[in-house]
Each structure stands twice: as C-alpha cells, then as structure tokens.
Chains A and B, each alone.
Chain A
Amino acid sequence: MGEGGRFSRVKGAARKLANMAEGTATIGAAWQRALRDRAISPTRYLAPLVKRATGLGDPPVNSTPKRVVYARGGMKLIRFEPPVRRFRTPILFVYSLINRYYILDFLPGRSLIEFMTRQGFDVYAIDWGTPGVVEQDMTWDDLLGGFVEAAKRWVFKLSGADDLTMYGYCMGGTMALAAAALHPQGVRNFVAQATPVDFKHGGIFTTWTDPEFFDVDAMVDAYGNVPIDLMESGFSMMAPVQRISKWFEVFRRLDDRDFVTSFLAMEHWAADNVPFPGEVYRQYIRDCYQENNFFEGRMIVGGRRVDLRQIHGPLLVLVADNDTIAPPPSSEALLGAVSSTDKTLLRFPVGHIGLSTSSKGPKVIWPKIAAWLAERSEPLPPG
C-alpha cells in the first residue's frame, strides 16, 4: 500500500474518532441538562441517542408562519394568516393549560392549524406561555373574562369580523365552554375537541382526584403553581412501562425517517410541559373533577354561574374513541347540556392526541371539520 493510501486510511479513522467524540459530547451534554432538571420523561435521555443514531435534528414542529398579535403577561395571541382567505369568520383555538398549544401546529403536512389556513380560514391561537410567580394567584376569571375576552376583541379588530368560531381542545375546551357560556357575544360556532365536560365520567383522573385520595389545597399551598415533575409522575402512572417500550420500536425502525421524525416531534411536545397555574388548578380540580360543578351548572367564575345552556350557536363535538383523558361519555354529555339546536357529533377511531396529529387527520378527520365550519362561516367574496 502506498503512502497516500495509508494517509487517507489514517485520516478516515481520525475523522471517525472525532465524529464519535463529538457525538458522545453532544449526548453527554443533553444528559447532563436532563439530570440537572431532574427530568422524569425518558425523552430527555433517549431522544439525543436517536438523533445521534439517525442524524436527524430537532423535529420541525410549530412551523406554520405566524405572528404574535397581542400579549398580556406571558400569554400570547398568535395569528396564522391563510394564503388565500375564503371566510370572514375567523377561528380562535383555545388550548389546555397542560402542555403547549403547538400540538395543533404539529408537523408540516400534519398540522391542524396549517390545514385550516389552507382551507381559507383566518386562524388565531392562544399560547398560555409558561406560568411563573405572577400567575400563581391568577383565577379562571382572569383567564376567561380577562385574556380570552381581550383575545376575542383583537381577533375582531384584525380579521374585520363581528363573530368567530371558538375551537377548544381538551381542558382548553372546558375553559372555552365556560368563556362562551359567560360571554356568549361574538361566538358564532363552537367546536369542542376531546373536551371533558361531565367529569363524573372523567375516567382515571376522576378516581385519582377524588377528595378522599387527593388534597388539592395542600398541593397548591405548598408549591404555588403545580410543578412539572408532579404532573409528569401522574402521567407516568398511566402507562409506566409503555413510556419506555414505545422507544424500542423506534430503535427497530431507525431507517424510517418519517416515522422517527413524527415520533420525536410527539415526544418533544409531550416532554415540553409547563407548570399549571395554582389557583386555576385548585378551582379546576374542585369544580370539575371533585364536585362536577362545571357540568351541573354550579361553577362560579368572577361571581357568575357558568351555565352551559347559554350556548345557543352551532356546536360540533369531536370525540376520540380511544380517549382516556376525555373519555367519550364525558365529552358527549355536552350535546345535552347546551341550548343549541344545530348540534353535530363526530367520532373517530383514534386517541386523545390522534385527533390533532394522526396521519388520518389531513385525510379523514380535518376535512370533515373544515366542511362543517365552511357551512357555518361567513364566506368572503372571491378575489
């Protein structure tokens, strides 16, 4: 072998070694951060390994073009303008205080928000931000009468519309229903996606939060806001072994980049938890899970009773057959609780998150939602 050949072999080996050292350092740094944060989620430890193995970067979640149009404290109202606007009636997404809103803007081609903008809707979403010390004492009234009402005003101002479609998801749906019942002005349509309503049928969470087992006052008094790791450990209890074993399938399918990307995106979102504002949590657990006051019309927000019968407009209830967070009977109960005459129930064979991220979304689920909305939204003249 000549000098040149030997030199290139040494160069190749050195490059491999350097590459390996760089990879080890990256993984080491990621693990160090996870350990420092005392992260419970396996994602923080395993995602760096999968990224290293596949050469994939961070998944492109939340990438639909957007602009923050209003903010109060850490909360933001985000606008997603459509390429061609076909409807005057805008959509306002109200997401849960657990996890972040961008599950609605998951991956390009698998994003509910992107889909709606392509259908010609002017879309807005509330990002509740990361609650800090200031948000500890925030109440449901601050959220609904304060931020959601202000967000509605900004939506009207920017879209030029007089009414909107309120689209609530999960606990965001419960909050949006309370907002629509207390302040029905300007709510033309309501979409409740995987929204728990009758908490008597709230599944495992109703059992866990039973006042006999769970002292919500002690938790909120101790921590102010509910810490991420306490929420995380609750979710871990639901399926502890599967939280690890689902990664093994990824290990077997490392060469399937689409699968790995959507898996990493989902795990990235699931691990991106935020603390739950303390006083809002206290009232949520007590009035919803423990006493079912929300559904039975006894919940008081800002001195007023939340009465779901104040909702008169068209209502679309979206239910996931395999939902363990908002079990179907809990969501379907909404149909009998409102005064609307135009009521539609759509059920899909997916899980709680699948309504927003499943590959069935853009093909099966979302076109039906968009068609329902199109029929009930004010069209804009073409051009």
Chain B
Amino acid sequence: MSQETAPRNLTARILRLVGYLTDPKSGPGKWWMRFEGASTGAMARLATSPRYLRFAGRGLQKMFHLHRDAVDLTEEVLHFWRVPTLGDFNEVRAQLRRAEDRLEITTTQLELALELLAKLQAELARSARGAA
C-alpha cells in the first residue's frame, strides 16, 4: 500500500475535517455512526414494508401514466405545428451516433481483414517455399 505525503491544499483540509467529524473514533463521529445505523435500519424496514411498497408503487404508476400523457400531448401539439420534437432530435442523434460507430468499426474490420490476408499470404508463401 503506497503511503505518500498528505495533500495540503485547502480542499484536502476541508475534506479531512469532514472525515474527522465523521470518524467513528471522534466524538461527532460516534453521533454520525448512531445516525447511520438508525437511518439504515429505518430504510431497510421501509424498503421491505408491503404498505410502503404498495403506496410507492401506486405513486410511481401514476407518475408513469402522467409522463406518457404529457409526452404524447406535447408531441402531438408540436407535430401539428410541424415543429420537430425532442423525440425526433433524439432519433437523429442516435442515427448519427450509429453511423459514426459503423464507420469506426468498418475501419477496424478492414484493418483486421488486411491483417488476416497478410497472414494467409505469408502462410501460402511458406508452403510454396516448402513445396519447392
């Protein structure tokens, strides 16, 4: 494990102070540990409570439906005015990225094919020499 000279800039000093205040060995750190333990326990109970999950699930479901309706409505209005929507831009952006990817890959595959051809050529030349 490499131990090096402690960094001395202002950011390091501030972070070190936060580190000290939350260190389990320091006074404030003990309070922090107690808070962490209590909140973790509470969150674990919450995350597995069927009542909470049912409530959160219903909330999420409503949010999904609302999101879908809002997107549909916005796209309809924008398309009516023949204005491109975020979805259209995203599609063009995705297509451009694909084209860029393909170009890069085709170049690599060409390089590979050339390499394989060169290997094949060398092998053929070797076997021809062997036959001679």
Q: A71-B102, A207-B53 are in contact. Are A52 and B9 (CB under 8 A)?
A: yes
Query: A221–B60 Cα gap in the complex (Å)?
Result: 13
A240 to B104, CA, bound (A): 40
Q: In the complex, what residues of A have CB within 8 A of residue B56's CB?
A: 213
Q: Please, how many angstroms separate the alpha-carbon atoms of A237 and B52 in the complex?
A: 13
CA of A237 to CA of B23, assembled, Å: 24
Query: B109–A55 contact, CB under 8 A?
Result: no
- Set of chain A residues within 8 Å of B23, measured between Cβ atoms: 248, 252
A213 contacts which chain B residues (CB < 8 A)?
A: 50, 53-54, 56-57
A264 interface hit (Cβ, 8 Å): no
Question: Are B94 and A134 within 8 A (Cβ)?
Answer: yes
Say whether A53 contacts B9, CB under 8 Å.
yes
Stretch of A62-70, A300-308, A335-343 at the chain-chain interface: A62-70
Task: Determine whether the beta carbon of B4 is less than 8 Å from that of A257.
Answer: yes
**B132 at the A/B interface (Cβ < 8 Å)?**
no
Complex interface residues of chain B between 30 and 82 (CB less than 8 A to chain A): 32, 35-36, 39-40, 43, 47-48, 50, 53-54, 56-57, 60-61, 64-65, 67-68, 71
Residues of B within 8 A of A222 (CB): 64-65, 67-68, 71
Task: Give the residue of B6, B22, B97 whose beta carbon is less than 8 angstroms from that of A254.
Answer: B6
Among A68, A129, A248, A253, chain B packs the most CB atoms within 10 A around the CB of A248
CA gap between A210 and B10 in the complex, in Å? 49
Report B1-23 residues with CB < 8 Å from chain A CB: 1-7, 9-12, 15-16, 18-20, 22-23
Docked complex Cα distance between A163 and B91 (Å): 38
Give the residues from 321 to 378 in chain A that come closer than 8 angstroms, CB to CB, to chain B: none
Q: Are A53 and B7 in contact (CB under 8 A)?
A: yes
Is the beta-carbon distance between A254 and B15 smaller than 8 angstroms? yes
B3: which A residues are within 8 A, CB to CB?
Answer: 255-256
Interface flags for B72-104 (1: CB within 8 Å of A; 0: not) read: 000000000000000100110111011001101
B121: Cβ under 8 A from any A Cβ: no
Contacts of B102 in A (CB 8 A): 71
A73-B98, A210-B53, A254-B16 are known contacts. Are A68 and B104 too (CB-CB below 8 A)?
A: yes
Interface size range on B against A: 35 or more
Min CB distance, B122 to chain A, in Å? Answer: 15
A-B contacts besides A54-B12, A134-B95, A218-B65, 15 pairs, CB < 8 Å:
A73-B98, A208-B53, A212-B57, A239-B43, A240-B39, A241-B36, A241-B43, A248-B18, A249-B19, A251-B16, A251-B19, A252-B20, A254-B16, A255-B7, A257-B4
* Chain B residues within 8 Å of A, Cβ to Cβ: 1-7, 9-12, 15-16, 18-20, 22-23, 32, 35-36, 39-40, 43, 47-48, 50, 53-54, 56-57, 60-61, 64-65, 67-68, 71, 87, 90-91, 93-95, 97-98, 101-102, 104-105, 108-109, 112
22 A-B residue pairings within 8 Å (CB atoms): A19-B9, A20-B9, A20-B10, A54-B12, A67-B112, A71-B101, A73-B101, A132-B93, A132-B98, A207-B53, A210-B53, A212-B53, A212-B57, A214-B57, A238-B47, A242-B36, A251-B19, A251-B22, A252-B16, A254-B6, A254-B16, A255-B3
Return the 6 tightest CB-CB contacts between A and B, nearest first: A251-B19, A132-B94, A252-B19, A213-B57, A53-B12, A71-B105
